[in-house]
Amino acid sequence: TVAILWFRRDLRLHDHPALLAAIEAADEVLPLFVIDPHLMSRGTPRSERLLASLAALGKDTRDTLVIRRGDPVEVVARVAKQAGARTVHVSRETTPYGRERDEAVEKALADDHRELVRTGSPYAIGPGTIVNGSDSPYKVFTPFSRAWRRHGAPEPAERPTRIPWHHGIRSDDLPEAKDVGDIEAGEAAARTRWKAFLENDLEGYKDGRERPDLDATSKLSAPLKYGEIHPRTLLADLASVTGVPTQDVETYETEIIWREFYADVLWHQPESAWHDLRPELGGLAYDSGTATDELVEAWKAGRTGYPIVDAGMRQLLELGWMHNRLRMITASFLTKDLHVWWPVGARHFLDHLLDGDLSSNNHGWQWVAGTGTDASPYFRVFNPVTQGKKFDPDGEYVRRWVPELAHLPGKAAHEPWDHEDGYEHDYPTRIVEHDEERKEALSRYERARR
């Protein structure tokens, strides 16, 4: 007998409950991945990263991985019939599109007397699980995180010692991935990256994570996005770490809980992906039109004239990754200094991030825009100059990404306007005045609240 393991956001073999369920269900396991044109447009960093991860998974499954292209509703049912599989095993999907797709696949399989079996999810505690005393979802982070910690993450699942892969079903060719940056794809690379982080950077993470000039975070967002490593594994390792200050361990755990929280919010409110969570700000006035489009283009290209903003936007284009502090600073600049509605920026991020994830990205944007769950108070508008000087104290990060400012030493790189030779290498002048735009943002906010 054969069971299908349909891989999606779970491209690994360790700590994989759906894989264990498939092994349990039949004599052999047929690994399948469906390239869904709806989710994958060739050339975006995210799609290329996925191809690289699939290439690694192909090797890990001893070249038995079957790749098919097309609408999963037709493809999965067809492959199940071809292989004579009674069950198709998946990790439960929790995004709006994934849920709808899985229901349609489940129905197509059932029409042919086959079953879709959901085991586990991409999260340590699946979305929808943590509810408050009156069985309702939590609306803000801190009480959610307390309840999440009380619940506790389950133990990781063992990697099976022997996996009876099914051979003999033809696969489509896997296109070769183009350059996908410096965060190597695949399960082995993710595990190596994690071990190195535990050894070298967990200690000091609480403060280090705020500094874009240091390489002090784990860069596991893309591996987590594709499920090359599971958060359960990370949490179990953190629980057994010794000799590292508790505050560093707890801070990393808290970041993982943010990921879980945003997935939970999306689960309960699928419309929150592209609509303001806070209805009271529905009337906030945003700018659009040709003049605004030009400002947005300058923001996208990293040519706003604000060094820290430009450094972040250029890092995004170059690496497909941006430091968390910079995601906040650049998002604040678009929404509060340029008065542009956050989905414009969220779309740009998703188009360029290797870790682009609907729940973390779009809710992260809403947090900054002030329309989200734990909105940062709207009046706390990020000042790009003070943020730069505080979190990139020696100007290292700016000089790395903005060569036109490489000649300005130390903090001077954050304020080229204060230096005679500041614009010697054609760095653009500021496209807006922050102090004015800050006042404008606050007055729009006051008008919307009235």
Residues annotated within the binding site are 205, 217-221, 252, 255-262, 355-357
* 389 near ligand FAD (CB under 6 A): no
User: Least CB distance from residue 35 to ligand FAD, whole Å?
Assistant: 21
Amino acid at 153: A
Alpha-carbon dihedral 145, 213, 432, 300, rounded to 10 degrees: -80
User: Least CB distance from residue 312 to ligand FAD, whole Å?
Assistant: 10
* 381 near ligand FAD (CB under 6 A): no
Annotated binding site for FAD: 205, 217-221, 252, 255-262, 355-357
**Contact yes or no for 294/304 (Cβ under 8 A):** no
Locate 335 and state its tokens: 């929404």
Among 30, 67, 353, 441, binds ligand FAD (CB under 6 A): 353
* 202 near ligand FAD (CB under 6 A): no
**Other C-beta atoms lying within 10 Å of the C-beta of residue 245:** 13
The residue among 348 and 434 lying less far from ligand FAD, judged by its C-beta, is 348
User: Least CB distance from residue 286 to ligand FAD, whole Å?
Assistant: 17
User: Least CB distance from residue 353 to ligand FAD, whole Å?
Assistant: 5
Label residue 436 exposed, middle or buried (CB < 10 Å: 0-12, 13-18, 19+): exposed
Pick from 257, 14, 267: which is nearest to 153 by CA?
257
* 440 near ligand FAD (CB under 6 A): no
**Does residue 219 come out as left (phi exceeding 0), alpha (psi in the -120 to 50 range) or beta?**
left
Among 153, 265, 308, 368, binds ligand FAD (CB under 6 A): 368
Q: Buried b vs exposed e over 10-36: b needs ≥16 C-beta within 10 Å?
A: bbbbbbbbbbbbbbebbebbbbbbbbb
Pick from 137, 70, 138, 83: which is nearest to 109 by CA?
83
The residue among 6 and 258 lying less far from ligand FAD, judged by its C-beta, is 258
**Contact yes or no for 233/241 (Cβ under 8 A):** no
Comparing every residue's Cβ against ligand FAD, the nearest one is 364
* 221 near ligand FAD (CB under 6 A): yes
Q: Rounded to a whole number, what is the largest CA-CA distance in the chain?
A: 76
User: Least CB distance from residue 381 to ligand FAD, whole Å?
Assistant: 15
* 187 near ligand FAD (CB under 6 A): no
Options 213-221, 242-250, 308-316, 382-390: segment touching ligand FAD (CB under 6 A):
213-221
Binding site for ligand FAD (CB under 6 A): 209, 217-221, 224-225, 255-256, 258-259, 262, 324, 327-328, 331, 349, 353, 355-357, 360-361, 364-365, 368
